[in-house]
Structure 1
Amino acid sequence: MRKLKVIEHISLDGVVQNSADGDGFPYTDWTAPYRTPEGRDALLAAHGERFDLLLGRRTYDIWAGFWPKVPGNPMADRLNAATKYVVTHRPESLEWGPVEALGKDLVEDVRRIKAGDGPDLVLSGSSTLTSPLLEHGMADEVLLIVYPALLGTGKRFFAEGTPAQAFELAETRAMPSGIIVTSYKIAGPLPKAEV
Protein backbone atom coordinates (compact mmCIF):
# COMPACT_ATOMS: atom_id res chain seq x y z
CA MET A 1 0.00 0.00 0.00
CA ARG A 2 1.24 3.47 -0.91
CA LYS A 3 1.77 5.95 1.91
CA LEU A 4 0.70 9.59 1.97
CA LYS A 5 3.11 12.15 3.41
CA VAL A 6 2.00 15.74 4.01
CA ILE A 7 4.91 18.17 3.64
CA GLU A 8 4.35 21.83 4.53
CA HIS A 9 6.43 24.97 4.92
CA ILE A 10 4.95 26.69 7.97
CA SER A 11 5.51 29.76 10.13
CA LEU A 12 5.67 29.64 13.92
CA ASP A 13 2.01 30.69 14.05
CA GLY A 14 0.83 28.00 11.63
CA VAL A 15 0.64 29.98 8.37
CA VAL A 16 1.35 28.03 5.19
CA GLN A 17 0.40 30.70 2.65
CA ASN A 18 3.28 31.86 0.50
CA SER A 19 1.62 33.99 -2.19
CA ALA A 20 -1.08 36.64 -2.43
CA ASP A 21 -3.75 34.42 -4.08
CA GLY A 22 -5.74 37.61 -4.71
CA ASP A 23 -6.51 38.10 -1.02
CA GLY A 24 -3.99 40.79 -0.09
CA PHE A 25 -1.57 38.50 1.78
CA PRO A 26 1.42 40.82 2.37
CA TYR A 27 4.33 38.36 2.77
CA THR A 28 4.88 36.75 -0.61
CA ASP A 29 7.89 34.39 -0.60
CA TRP A 30 8.60 34.89 3.12
CA THR A 31 10.56 31.60 3.24
CA ALA A 32 13.29 32.84 0.87
CA PRO A 33 15.67 34.36 3.47
CA TYR A 34 15.96 30.97 5.21
CA ARG A 35 16.79 28.82 2.19
CA THR A 36 20.16 27.08 2.26
CA PRO A 37 21.81 24.18 0.41
CA GLU A 38 21.46 22.10 3.61
CA GLY A 39 17.75 22.81 3.73
CA ARG A 40 17.38 21.93 0.04
CA ASP A 41 19.11 18.60 0.64
CA ALA A 42 16.86 17.84 3.63
CA LEU A 43 13.78 18.61 1.52
CA LEU A 44 14.99 16.38 -1.31
CA ALA A 45 15.59 13.56 1.17
CA ALA A 46 12.13 14.03 2.70
CA HIS A 47 10.47 13.69 -0.70
CA GLY A 48 12.57 10.71 -1.75
CA GLU A 49 13.87 9.77 -5.19
CA ARG A 50 10.44 8.85 -6.57
CA PHE A 51 7.01 10.02 -5.47
CA ASP A 52 3.68 11.11 -6.86
CA LEU A 53 1.89 14.32 -5.93
CA LEU A 54 -1.57 15.00 -4.52
CA LEU A 55 -2.44 18.64 -5.19
CA GLY A 56 -5.31 21.07 -5.00
CA ARG A 57 -6.02 23.01 -8.16
CA ARG A 58 -4.52 26.32 -6.99
CA THR A 59 -1.21 24.69 -6.00
CA TYR A 60 -1.17 22.73 -9.25
CA ASP A 61 -1.62 25.91 -11.30
CA ILE A 62 1.10 27.79 -9.38
CA TRP A 63 3.56 24.92 -9.66
CA ALA A 64 2.69 24.25 -13.33
CA GLY A 65 3.70 27.83 -14.09
CA PHE A 66 7.08 27.41 -12.40
CA TRP A 67 8.59 23.91 -12.11
CA PRO A 68 8.52 22.89 -15.82
CA LYS A 69 10.65 25.98 -16.55
CA VAL A 70 13.44 25.05 -14.09
CA PRO A 71 16.04 22.99 -16.00
CA GLY A 72 18.68 20.81 -14.35
CA ASN A 73 17.30 21.10 -10.82
CA PRO A 74 16.92 17.89 -8.75
CA MET A 75 13.63 18.99 -7.16
CA ALA A 76 12.21 20.20 -10.48
CA ASP A 77 13.20 16.92 -12.15
CA ARG A 78 11.41 14.89 -9.46
CA LEU A 79 8.29 17.09 -9.42
CA ASN A 80 8.06 17.11 -13.21
CA ALA A 81 8.38 13.30 -13.37
CA ALA A 82 5.77 12.69 -10.64
CA THR A 83 2.19 11.82 -11.51
CA LYS A 84 0.08 14.73 -10.30
CA TYR A 85 -3.29 13.74 -8.82
CA VAL A 86 -5.23 17.01 -8.88
CA VAL A 87 -8.48 17.81 -7.10
CA THR A 88 -10.26 20.04 -9.63
CA HIS A 89 -13.57 20.99 -11.22
CA ARG A 90 -11.75 21.84 -14.48
CA PRO A 91 -9.97 18.63 -15.56
CA GLU A 92 -9.88 19.64 -19.23
CA SER A 93 -7.27 22.33 -18.54
CA LEU A 94 -4.62 20.16 -16.85
CA GLU A 95 -1.51 20.34 -19.02
CA TRP A 96 1.45 19.71 -16.69
CA GLY A 97 1.69 15.95 -16.66
CA PRO A 98 1.68 13.18 -16.12
CA VAL A 99 -1.63 14.10 -14.50
CA GLU A 100 -4.93 12.60 -13.35
CA ALA A 101 -7.92 14.67 -12.30
CA LEU A 102 -9.71 13.59 -9.14
CA GLY A 103 -13.46 13.87 -8.76
CA LYS A 104 -15.74 15.09 -6.01
CA ASP A 105 -15.01 12.29 -3.52
CA LEU A 106 -11.50 13.15 -2.29
CA VAL A 107 -11.38 10.43 0.36
CA GLU A 108 -12.51 7.64 -1.96
CA ASP A 109 -10.11 8.77 -4.71
CA VAL A 110 -7.15 8.89 -2.30
CA ARG A 111 -8.13 5.49 -0.89
CA ARG A 112 -8.10 4.08 -4.45
CA ILE A 113 -4.73 5.64 -5.29
CA LYS A 114 -3.13 4.45 -2.06
CA ALA A 115 -4.37 0.90 -2.69
CA GLY A 116 -2.76 0.83 -6.14
CA ASP A 117 0.82 0.30 -7.23
CA GLY A 118 3.32 3.11 -7.43
CA PRO A 119 5.51 5.34 -5.32
CA ASP A 120 4.34 7.04 -2.16
CA LEU A 121 2.26 10.23 -2.38
CA VAL A 122 3.28 13.70 -1.25
CA LEU A 123 0.70 16.37 -0.46
CA SER A 124 2.24 19.82 -0.35
CA GLY A 125 0.91 23.34 -0.60
CA SER A 126 -2.76 22.38 -0.56
CA SER A 127 -4.00 23.36 2.89
CA THR A 128 -7.67 22.70 2.07
CA LEU A 129 -6.94 19.00 1.48
CA THR A 130 -4.99 18.37 4.69
CA SER A 131 -7.84 18.50 7.20
CA PRO A 132 -10.26 16.12 5.42
CA LEU A 133 -7.47 13.63 4.75
CA LEU A 134 -6.43 13.63 8.41
CA GLU A 135 -10.06 13.38 9.51
CA HIS A 136 -10.53 10.22 7.42
CA GLY A 137 -7.20 8.62 8.33
CA MET A 138 -5.66 8.96 4.87
CA ALA A 139 -2.37 10.64 5.88
CA ASP A 140 0.46 8.50 7.24
CA GLU A 141 3.03 11.17 8.05
CA VAL A 142 3.25 14.94 8.46
CA LEU A 143 6.56 16.69 7.83
CA LEU A 144 6.68 20.33 8.90
CA ILE A 145 9.40 22.71 7.81
CA VAL A 146 9.00 25.35 10.54
CA TYR A 147 10.44 28.80 9.85
CA PRO A 148 11.45 31.26 12.60
CA ALA A 149 8.87 33.82 11.51
CA LEU A 150 5.57 35.01 12.92
CA LEU A 151 3.22 36.22 10.16
CA GLY A 152 0.01 36.97 12.04
CA THR A 153 -2.18 36.53 8.96
CA GLY A 154 -2.69 34.05 6.14
CA LYS A 155 -3.98 30.55 5.47
CA ARG A 156 -3.36 28.16 8.32
CA PHE A 157 -2.15 24.59 8.09
CA PHE A 158 -5.17 23.13 9.89
CA ALA A 159 -8.68 24.40 9.19
CA GLU A 160 -10.89 25.44 12.07
CA GLY A 161 -12.84 22.40 13.22
CA THR A 162 -10.27 19.80 12.15
CA PRO A 163 -10.80 16.79 14.43
CA ALA A 164 -8.26 16.42 17.23
CA GLN A 165 -5.36 14.13 16.31
CA ALA A 166 -2.39 12.64 18.15
CA PHE A 167 1.02 12.57 16.48
CA GLU A 168 4.20 10.67 17.35
CA LEU A 169 7.53 12.38 16.80
CA ALA A 170 9.54 10.43 14.23
CA GLU A 171 12.47 12.80 13.68
CA THR A 172 13.51 16.40 14.15
CA ARG A 173 16.44 18.36 12.80
CA ALA A 174 17.51 21.98 13.31
CA MET A 175 19.11 23.90 10.44
CA PRO A 176 21.67 26.69 10.97
CA SER A 177 19.20 29.12 9.33
CA GLY A 178 16.75 28.58 12.20
CA ILE A 179 14.44 26.20 10.34
CA ILE A 180 13.27 23.12 12.23
CA VAL A 181 12.34 20.07 10.14
CA THR A 182 10.07 17.79 12.12
CA SER A 183 8.46 14.55 11.02
CA TYR A 184 5.43 13.05 12.76
CA LYS A 185 3.64 9.74 12.32
CA ILE A 186 -0.14 9.86 12.65
CA ALA A 187 -1.14 8.17 15.91
CA GLY A 188 -4.92 8.55 15.49
CA PRO A 189 -7.68 10.51 17.19
CA LEU A 190 -6.74 12.35 20.35
CA PRO A 191 -8.53 10.77 23.31
CA LYS A 192 -10.93 13.08 25.11
CA ALA A 193 -10.36 13.80 28.77
CA GLU A 194 -12.55 11.77 31.09
CA VAL A 195 -14.81 13.84 33.30
Structure 2
Amino acid sequence: MRRLKIIEHISLDGVIQHSEDGNGFPYGGWNMPYRTPEGREAVMAAHPESFDLLLGRRTYELWSEYWPDAPSDPLADRLKAATKYVVTHRPESLKWGPFEGVGPDLVEGVRHIKAQEGPDLILSGSSTLTSTLLENGLADEVVLAVYPLLLGTGKRFFADGTPACSLGFVGTTATPSGVLLNTYNAIRHLDATFAHPGD
Protein backbone atom coordinates (compact mmCIF):
# COMPACT_ATOMS: atom_id res chain seq x y z
CA MET A 1 0.00 0.00 0.00
CA ARG A 2 1.39 3.37 -1.02
CA ARG A 3 1.22 6.18 1.53
CA LEU A 4 -0.17 9.64 0.78
CA LYS A 5 1.43 12.70 2.37
CA ILE A 6 -0.14 16.16 2.15
CA ILE A 7 2.37 19.03 2.26
CA GLU A 8 0.90 22.53 2.40
CA HIS A 9 2.20 26.07 2.94
CA ILE A 10 -0.46 27.67 5.10
CA SER A 11 -1.20 30.97 6.86
CA LEU A 12 -2.22 31.15 10.52
CA ASP A 13 -5.84 31.47 9.43
CA GLY A 14 -5.70 28.36 7.26
CA VAL A 15 -5.23 29.83 3.75
CA ILE A 16 -3.25 27.66 1.32
CA GLN A 17 -4.03 29.66 -1.85
CA HIS A 18 -0.92 31.26 -3.35
CA SER A 19 -2.01 32.62 -6.73
CA GLU A 20 -4.82 34.53 -8.42
CA ASP A 21 -7.67 32.32 -9.63
CA GLY A 22 -9.97 34.87 -11.26
CA ASN A 23 -11.82 35.62 -8.02
CA GLY A 24 -9.75 38.59 -6.90
CA PHE A 25 -7.34 36.94 -4.46
CA PRO A 26 -4.96 39.85 -3.66
CA TYR A 27 -1.99 38.13 -2.00
CA GLY A 28 -0.26 36.05 -4.66
CA GLY A 29 3.18 34.87 -3.58
CA TRP A 30 2.58 35.74 0.08
CA ASN A 31 5.06 33.12 1.29
CA MET A 32 8.01 34.45 -0.72
CA PRO A 33 9.37 36.91 1.93
CA TYR A 34 9.68 34.06 4.43
CA ARG A 35 11.82 31.77 2.30
CA THR A 36 15.26 30.91 3.68
CA PRO A 37 17.88 28.27 2.84
CA GLU A 38 17.03 26.57 6.15
CA GLY A 39 13.36 26.52 5.25
CA ARG A 40 14.10 25.01 1.86
CA GLU A 41 16.14 22.28 3.52
CA ALA A 42 13.28 21.54 5.92
CA VAL A 43 10.80 21.27 3.04
CA MET A 44 13.23 19.03 1.16
CA ALA A 45 13.50 16.79 4.21
CA ALA A 46 9.70 16.33 4.15
CA HIS A 47 9.95 14.83 0.65
CA PRO A 48 11.23 11.27 0.23
CA GLU A 49 14.00 10.43 -2.23
CA SER A 50 11.42 9.17 -4.70
CA PHE A 51 7.71 10.01 -4.89
CA ASP A 52 4.79 10.51 -7.23
CA LEU A 53 2.43 13.49 -7.21
CA LEU A 54 -1.33 13.80 -6.77
CA LEU A 55 -2.50 17.14 -8.16
CA GLY A 56 -5.68 19.02 -8.97
CA ARG A 57 -5.89 20.37 -12.49
CA ARG A 58 -5.19 24.00 -11.55
CA THR A 59 -2.10 23.16 -9.49
CA TYR A 60 -0.89 20.91 -12.30
CA GLU A 61 -1.27 23.76 -14.80
CA LEU A 62 0.55 26.24 -12.54
CA TRP A 63 3.40 23.83 -11.86
CA SER A 64 3.72 22.85 -15.52
CA GLU A 65 4.44 26.51 -16.34
CA TYR A 66 7.54 26.50 -14.12
CA TRP A 67 8.97 23.12 -13.14
CA PRO A 68 9.69 21.53 -16.56
CA ASP A 69 12.31 24.23 -17.29
CA ALA A 70 13.42 24.87 -13.70
CA PRO A 71 17.17 24.59 -13.01
CA SER A 72 18.29 21.19 -11.82
CA ASP A 73 18.33 20.70 -8.05
CA PRO A 74 17.24 17.80 -5.82
CA LEU A 75 13.61 18.92 -5.45
CA ALA A 76 13.16 20.03 -9.08
CA ASP A 77 14.64 16.78 -10.35
CA ARG A 78 12.31 14.70 -8.15
CA LEU A 79 9.25 16.69 -9.27
CA LYS A 80 10.16 16.27 -12.92
CA ALA A 81 10.67 12.52 -12.54
CA ALA A 82 7.49 11.92 -10.52
CA THR A 83 4.39 10.51 -12.18
CA LYS A 84 1.72 13.20 -11.91
CA TYR A 85 -1.70 11.74 -11.08
CA VAL A 86 -4.02 14.57 -12.10
CA VAL A 87 -7.66 15.09 -11.16
CA THR A 88 -9.10 16.33 -14.46
CA HIS A 89 -11.97 15.78 -16.86
CA ARG A 90 -9.58 16.27 -19.79
CA PRO A 91 -6.59 13.92 -19.33
CA GLU A 92 -5.95 13.99 -23.07
CA SER A 93 -4.91 17.66 -22.80
CA LEU A 94 -2.14 17.07 -20.24
CA LYS A 95 1.40 17.86 -21.44
CA TRP A 96 3.88 17.68 -18.55
CA GLY A 97 4.66 14.07 -17.88
CA PRO A 98 4.87 11.41 -16.94
CA PHE A 99 1.19 11.72 -16.05
CA GLU A 100 -2.02 9.77 -15.58
CA GLY A 101 -5.60 10.86 -14.99
CA VAL A 102 -7.11 9.88 -11.63
CA GLY A 103 -10.49 9.02 -13.16
CA PRO A 104 -14.02 10.36 -12.69
CA ASP A 105 -14.33 9.27 -9.02
CA LEU A 106 -11.65 10.95 -6.88
CA VAL A 107 -12.02 8.68 -3.85
CA GLU A 108 -12.03 5.40 -5.77
CA GLY A 109 -9.30 6.66 -8.10
CA VAL A 110 -6.97 7.52 -5.23
CA ARG A 111 -7.73 4.21 -3.48
CA HIS A 112 -6.78 2.40 -6.68
CA ILE A 113 -3.53 4.37 -7.04
CA LYS A 114 -2.59 3.76 -3.41
CA ALA A 115 -3.16 0.01 -3.83
CA GLN A 116 -0.67 -0.17 -6.72
CA GLU A 117 3.03 -0.83 -6.41
CA GLY A 118 5.13 2.33 -6.56
CA PRO A 119 6.59 5.18 -4.53
CA ASP A 120 4.58 7.11 -1.99
CA LEU A 121 2.38 10.03 -3.09
CA ILE A 122 2.73 13.73 -2.31
CA LEU A 123 -0.13 16.23 -2.61
CA SER A 124 0.64 19.96 -2.48
CA GLY A 125 -1.66 22.87 -3.29
CA SER A 126 -4.87 21.49 -4.80
CA SER A 127 -7.13 22.96 -2.12
CA THR A 128 -10.23 21.36 -3.65
CA LEU A 129 -8.84 17.88 -2.87
CA THR A 130 -7.55 18.10 0.70
CA SER A 131 -10.89 17.97 2.53
CA THR A 132 -12.16 15.02 0.49
CA LEU A 133 -8.97 13.03 0.98
CA LEU A 134 -8.90 13.65 4.72
CA GLU A 135 -12.61 13.00 5.17
CA ASN A 136 -12.28 9.63 3.44
CA GLY A 137 -9.19 8.55 5.35
CA LEU A 138 -6.92 8.57 2.31
CA ALA A 139 -4.16 10.79 3.75
CA ASP A 140 -1.56 9.07 5.93
CA GLU A 141 0.51 12.09 6.94
CA VAL A 142 0.12 15.88 6.88
CA VAL A 143 2.97 18.40 6.87
CA LEU A 144 1.92 22.03 7.36
CA ALA A 145 4.45 24.83 6.83
CA VAL A 146 2.71 27.45 8.99
CA TYR A 147 3.58 31.09 8.20
CA PRO A 148 3.26 33.86 10.83
CA LEU A 149 0.65 35.95 9.06
CA LEU A 150 -3.11 36.28 8.66
CA LEU A 151 -4.59 36.70 5.18
CA GLY A 152 -8.32 36.85 5.89
CA THR A 153 -9.31 35.56 2.46
CA GLY A 154 -8.46 32.77 0.06
CA LYS A 155 -8.94 29.03 -0.31
CA ARG A 156 -8.37 27.18 2.94
CA PHE A 157 -6.95 23.81 3.88
CA PHE A 158 -10.37 22.58 5.03
CA ALA A 159 -13.53 23.44 3.13
CA ASP A 160 -16.61 24.59 5.06
CA GLY A 161 -18.56 21.59 6.27
CA THR A 162 -15.58 19.25 6.58
CA PRO A 163 -16.28 16.84 9.48
CA ALA A 164 -14.38 17.49 12.70
CA CYS A 165 -11.18 15.48 13.00
CA SER A 166 -8.00 15.22 15.01
CA LEU A 167 -4.42 15.09 13.74
CA GLY A 168 -1.79 13.18 15.70
CA PHE A 169 1.20 15.44 16.36
CA VAL A 170 4.56 13.97 15.31
CA GLY A 171 7.01 16.88 15.52
CA THR A 172 7.90 20.41 14.44
CA THR A 173 10.82 22.29 12.92
CA ALA A 174 11.22 26.08 13.15
CA THR A 175 12.93 28.19 10.48
CA PRO A 176 14.75 31.53 11.06
CA SER A 177 11.89 33.46 9.42
CA GLY A 178 9.32 32.08 11.86
CA VAL A 179 7.81 29.36 9.67
CA LEU A 180 6.91 26.18 11.59
CA LEU A 181 6.89 22.84 9.76
CA ASN A 182 4.44 20.75 11.75
CA THR A 183 4.10 17.05 10.99
CA TYR A 184 0.98 15.03 11.87
CA ASN A 185 -0.08 11.43 11.31
CA ALA A 186 -3.39 10.07 10.02
CA ILE A 187 -6.59 11.69 11.18
CA ARG A 188 -9.16 10.43 13.68
CA HIS A 189 -12.74 11.65 13.34
CA LEU A 190 -14.33 13.22 16.43
CA ASP A 191 -17.87 12.83 17.65
CA ALA A 192 -20.02 15.73 18.85
CA THR A 193 -18.60 15.60 22.38
CA PHE A 194 -15.07 16.56 21.17
CA ALA A 195 -13.57 14.35 23.88
CA HIS A 196 -9.84 14.83 24.37
CA PRO A 197 -7.52 11.80 24.07
CA GLY A 198 -7.32 10.12 27.44
CA ASP A 199 -10.62 11.54 28.76
Short-chain TM bin: over 0.9
Q: What is the alpha-carbon distance in structure 2 between the residues aligned to residue 192 and residue 22 of structure 1? A: 37
Contiguous gaps of at least 5 residues in structure 2: 195-199
SS class of match (2:146): strand
Instruction: Tell me the matched-pair count.
Output: 194
**1:55 aligned partner, one-letter code:** L
Contiguous gaps of at least 5 residues in structure 1: none
Alignment of 1:154-165 (within 5 A): 154-165=154-165
Residue equivalent to 2:197: none
Q: What is the alpha-carbon distance in structure 1 between the residues aligned to residue 158 and residue 71 of structure 2? A: 33
Residue equivalent to 1:119: 119
Q: What is the alpha-carbon distance in structure 2 between the residues aligned to residue 97 and residue 143 of structure 1? A: 25
Q: What is the alpha-carbon distance in structure 1 between the residues aligned to residue 131 and residue 191 of structure 2? A: 18
Identity of aligned residues (%): 66
Q: What is the alpha-carbon distance in structure 2 between the residues aligned to residue 165 and residue 3 of structure 1? A: 19
Normalising by the residue count of structure 1, what TM-score does the alignment of the two structures yield?
0.97
Residue equivalent to 2:183: 183
Q: What is the alpha-carbon distance in structure 2 between the residues aligned to residue 184 and residue 149 of structure 1? A: 21
Residue equivalent to 2:105: 105
1:74 deviates by: 1.8
Q: What is the alpha-carbon distance in structure 2 between the residues aligned to residue 22 and residue 38 of structure 1? A: 33
Give structure 1 regions of 4+ aligned residues with deviation exceeding 3 angstroms.
Answer: none
Is the deviation greater in 119-128 or in 69-78? 69-78
Equivalent residues of 2:54, 2:122 under 8 A apart: yes
Alignment of 1:50-69 (within 5 A): 50-69=50-69
RMSD over equivalenced CA pairs, Å: 1.0
**1:61 aligned partner, one-letter code:** E
1:154-180 CA-to-partner distances (Å, cap 9, x unmatched) read 111100011111111011111111000
Residue equivalent to 1:11: 11
Q: What is the alpha-carbon distance in structure 2 between the residues aligned to residue 168 and residue 27 of structure 1? A: 31
Normalising by the residue count of structure 2, what TM-score does the alignment of the two structures yield?
0.95
Q: What is the alpha-carbon distance in structure 2 between the residues aligned to residue 135 and residue 187 of structure 1? A: 9
